[in-house]
Amino acid sequence: MKKITKVVVFAFLTLYLGTGVEAQKLDKFTADLGKKVVMGKDVRVPYTEVISYYSYVKPGCKPDEVREGKNFFYLYIWIPVAAPEIGVRMASPVPEKMSPEKTDFVTADFTDNKADKTNYFDTWISFERANGIVSVDDILPKAGSVSWMNLGQNDDSGEMPAQPSGSKYNSLMRITSDINDPLKSLVIGLYRIGFTTYKVGDVQGSFLAQVAAPISIPGVVIAKDLESLVKMIQEGKK
């Protein structure tokens, strides 16, 4: 009986600790396109393309905009081909088992502060398209006066891992292109992720943002400002 008990306890601890380790890493980012329902559960295939952006918001950092008392920050994205679907997700802090790869976008702020495991924020994200900007040459001249179309937003997602507090306050959304509605089509152009917190408060700490698609879209660039975005496009960052 003692041997059986030890085996059972060992198996339980192995399963428990193994699950804990996996919980520190994001699951594969999967698409709505081709989704099936099997035995009452959604079954999705992974996105073909996943672009990662690692960064850090310093405590007290000046926001890009203040909306309804909330500090908003933006990530600007150039998408060079039309896509049938775009997935966007954000986790804060960066999960411990996640680290940048060679092709990922990594800011100096993240590199300088990656040891900070204390600061993080309750993510809230939106995904917007700049109306009428379909050429790189138009980004800087027109971005200051362009209108932005809100394609979707998300606060808490049960598909994302919990934050250190134990709450599932990370964000994920999928946007499907509507070819019958020009305003909701995922065409070539300039996009941005807006992010803040659900409650009024500071946005601070590390975060990982990912943009994904069910098709290959080489040439996607992500930057924290438009000048950097254009420079990286011209230099052929990706």
Q: Which residues contact 48 (CB under 8 A, 6 or more apart)?
A: 213, 214, 215, 216
- Determine the pLDDT at residue 12: 33
Q: How far is the C-alpha of 238 from the C-alpha of 232, rounded, in Å?
A: 8
Quick check: 4 pLDDT over 60? Answer: no
How far the first Cα of the chain sits from its last, in Å, is 60
Local confidence band at 167 (pLDDT 50, 70, 90 cut-offs)? very high
Local confidence band at 19 (pLDDT 50, 70, 90 cut-offs)? very low
Quick check: 218 pLDDT over 60? Answer: yes
Q: State the chain's mean pLDDT as an integer.
A: 88
Q: Which CATH architecture has domain 2-235?
A: Sandwich (2.60)
Encoded tokens for 56: 């850090």
Reported pTM: 0.87
